[in-house]
Amino acid sequence: MHNLLFRLDPALQQLLARAAELAPTVNATVWLVGGVVRDLLLELPIGRDIDLAVEGDVNQLAPLVAEAWGGHITARHPPFGTATIVVDQWLIDLAQTRTERYPRPAILPEVQPAPLALDLYRRDYSINAMAIRLAARDGQLLPMPLFDPLGGVADLAARRLRLLHDQSLRDDPTRLLRGARLASRLDLTPDRATAAQIAAALAAGYLALLTPERIQTELCLTLAEPDPAAVVALSDQWGMTEQLIPGLRWTPALAERLARYRNDEYGIAALAPAEMVMAGLLLYDLSDDELAMFLQRYHLPTTIRHLINDLVSLRRLTAALTAAASPSELDKLLQPYSVPAIAVLHFASNAPMQPAIARYLREWRSLRPPLNGDDLRALGVTPGPRLGQLLHELRAATLDGLITDRAAAEQWVRQQLANS
Ligand code: CTP
């Protein structure tokens, strides 16, 4: 337990040691807190976000530390006593230890400096409320005990998700989404009191008090989880998805679709960003009206908006796609839509349709005929709409296997010219 810090990347240890040595010069104490401490205990990989709690004046300490690290401060909120320093691959948050008061539910809190113990108590779950004081000698971190006044270690050992006080979800309803992510990722179960608080918070409609932007941030974090589907399944079990995205339910059909995506029999997953495909698969069964409401409620990035619009059109094509008799017919139907949307369609389609859509994505979509515009001109085709039309027909004939090489293509063009 005392050696937890030595599991950190050695370069990060050096940075933290430097901060620990500088802190006393401004009468401050620095603690490693939050998810990193939890993940060190669980022996999980540590990401790039590192949280430091500072008992003392962050506004004084942050510039000193940033300079010593050769990093730079990217965000700073002097009234809140917070600063973010980017150094090497890390994003290190320094925050003055504080208590929070929420005058109304779900708004940003009024904060006041406070000792670390109170700072830990204002946090979300016990497993995120542990800290290790940073101390160093000769540029090396010293082993320090874990500070765990709220029972985080015991909860981790029992795989228990436990809120720290009964106003927590009212104060900050994003904790409902954070809880589902944590529980799913770390295989935790809410204890009885926490489960009751979750149910009560959802029944009280606290999620509706959050701005769409805050929910959206949490939804994006969900999509970035190792297993977003498991988070959605758990969220639905808690009765939360319906409040976040009306129409989204965890169904056997959705589970099957996501399993198909995981198995990725046809090697399609790598063709589109995972978050886009996951978002599309989750939203695929929502009605047109539900999707329209979803688009209206959240200010989504253009890529996701396009994806949703494409899906609304694409899923209407199922019958036409099934009836498509040749690659060129399939190409004609799918060509207007984006690769991520078609990848979603592939995973959402029934078994007989999948091979053709997969081949379309992997081969047919990018297929070029053996001749280009210059070649056609050299063969005597005058530039203009006719040339475009011939190129198009040439590509369709190549897709359908009627033309396989350059010689056949040239012969085909000559024949077209002779016939016209
Ligand atoms: N925190 C909180 N309530 C919130 C958000 C954050 O109490 N609504 C506290 C928790 O102590 C959390 C810490 O701030 O551990 C840092 O938050 P964040 O970086 O968002 O998450 P991590 O716990 O580091 O977890 P993750 O692995 O999910 O990034």
Q: Which of 115-124, 186-195, 346-355 has the lowest mean pLDDT?
A: 346-355
Chosen domain end from 210, 228, 244: 244
Domain-embedded: residue 328: no
Question: Are residues 222 and 137 part of one domain?
Answer: no
Q: Residue 111 — very low, low, confident or very high, per pLDDT cuts 50/70/90?
A: confident
Question: Are residues 131 and 252 part of one domain?
Answer: no
Closest CA relative to residue 42, chosen from 68, 86, 7, 81: 7
- Enumerate residues 6+ apart whose C-beta is below 8 A from 228: 222, 278, 282
Three-class secondary structure of residue 100 per DSSP: strand
Whole-angstrom distance, CA of residue 23 vs CA of residue 62: 10
Whole-angstrom distance, CA of residue 150 vs CA of residue 286: 42
What the block records as the tokens of 161 is: 């998700």
- By most ligand atoms within 8 Å of CB, the mutation choice from 128, 167, 184, 188 for ligand 1 is 128
Question: Are residues 109 and 17 part of one domain?
Answer: yes
Counting the structural domains of the chain, the total is 4
Closest ligand 1 atom to residue 36 Cα is 24
Domain-embedded: residue 36: yes
Question: Are residues 184 and 138 part of one domain?
Answer: no
Following DSSP, what letter does each residue of 299-331 receive, concatenated?
A: ---HHHHHHHHHHHHHGGGHHHHHH--SHHHHH
Ligand 1 centroid – CA 214 distance (Å):
14
Domain-embedded: residue 308: yes
- Enumerate residues 6+ apart whose C-beta is below 8 A from 325: none
What residue owns the CA closest to ligand 1's atom 9?
Answer: 123
Three-class secondary structure of residue 335 per DSSP: coil
Say what the pLDDT of residue 58 is. Answer: 96
pLDDT at 101 over 60: yes
- Enumerate residues 6+ apart whose C-beta is below 8 A from 334: 314, 321, 342, 357, 360, 365
- Specify whether the CB–CB gap between 166 and 195 falls below 8 A: no
Q: Residue 319 — very low, low, confident or very high, per pLDDT cuts 50/70/90?
A: very high
Domain-embedded: residue 235: yes
Question: Are residues 190 and 301 part of one domain?
Answer: no
Question: Are residues 131 and 44 part of one domain?
Answer: yes
Domain-embedded: residue 62: yes
Question: Are residues 255 and 119 part of one domain?
Answer: no
Q: Residue 241 — very low, low, confident or very high, per pLDDT cuts 50/70/90?
A: very high
Question: Are residues 151 and 42 part of one domain?
Answer: yes
Question: Are residues 166 and 236 part of one domain?
Answer: yes
Mean pLDDT for 21-41 is: 98
Question: Are residues 18 and 82 part of one domain?
Answer: yes
Question: Are residues 27 and 129 part of one domain?
Answer: yes
Strand pairing class (90-96; 98-101): unpaired
CATH code (residue 188)? 1.10.110.30
Mind listing the pLDDT tens digit for each residue in 258-291? 999 999 999 999 999 999 999 999 999 999 999 9
Ligand 1 centroid – CA 177 distance (Å):
12
Ligand 1 centroid – CA 130 distance (Å):
11
Structural domain of 397 = 373-419
Domain-embedded: residue 14: yes
Ligand 1 centroid – CA 373 distance (Å):
57
Ligand 1 centroid – CA 34 distance (Å):
6
Three-class secondary structure of residue 166 per DSSP: coil
What percent of the chain is predicted at pLDDT more than 70? Answer: 100
What mean pLDDT is reported for the chain?
95
What the block records as the tokens of 69 is: 């690290």
- Specify whether the CB–CB gap between 65 and 85 falls below 8 A: yes
Domain-embedded: residue 329: no
Ligand 1 centroid – CA 35 distance (Å):
6
Closest ligand 1 atom to residue 172 Cα is 8
| Ligand 1 pocket, residues with Cβ under 6 angstroms | 34-35, 49, 51, 123-124, 128-129, 172, 174-175, 178
Mean pLDDT for 291-301 is: 94
Question: Are residues 354 and 255 part of one domain?
Answer: yes
Closest ligand 1 atom to residue 221 Cα is 28
Closest ligand 1 atom to residue 93 Cα is 19
pLDDT at 1 over 80: no
Domain-embedded: residue 347: yes
Chosen domain end from 192, 210, 244: 244
CATH code (residue 116)? 3.30.460.10
Chosen domain end from 188, 215, 244: 244
Q: Residue 351 — very low, low, confident or very high, per pLDDT cuts 50/70/90?
A: confident
Say what the pLDDT of residue 2 is. Answer: 61
User: What's the distance, CA 245 to chain centroid?
Assistant: 16
Say what the pLDDT of residue 420 is. Answer: 75
Whole-angstrom distance, CA of residue 31 vs CA of residue 4: 13
